[in-house]
Amino acid sequence: MASTQEILDQANALGELLAEHETAKAMESALKALQADTASQQALADLNRFGASLEEKAAQGKPIEVADKRKLEELQQAVVLNPLLAGFQRAQMDYTDLLRQVDDAITGRSAAEGQPQPQAPAAGGAGPVVGL
């Protein structure tokens, strides 16, 4: 029977292997590039802030005006067309996929069993938005 310390030692070794993986390095690189770019951060912050204000407006039963919808679309386009944000999102998805594969291996699921199941968006969410 494995001891707690043996399990923790193996977990630390796995963490080191993950950190050395090209996907983890790409994720770290994309995050650093994004953190260094204030324009990208501003575009994301503007979208998140405006999206939150629209959610609050909707929760209060206030109408979402056409101008609000246009502004939201403009802010979304600014994020979608930003190459650093797009690169970060790709790196994040790749890293998440790697972690899913590790989880599947740990839990003993086969590739067929481990297929991601569609999930409903989180409550109040207007889609995936990357946080820094």
Helices 22-36, 38-59: crossing angle, 10 deg rounding: 80
- The CA–CA distances, whole Å, from 18 to 7, 21, 27, 99, 101 equal 16, 5, 11, 9, 12
Please report which confidence band the pLDDT of residue 26 belongs to, taking 50, 70 and 90 as the band edges.
very high
- Per cent of the chain over pLDDT 90 is 82
Is pTM beyond 0.85 here?
A: no
DSSP, res 21: S
pLDDT at 38 over 80: yes
The pLDDT of residue 111 is 56
The pLDDT of residue 120 is 43
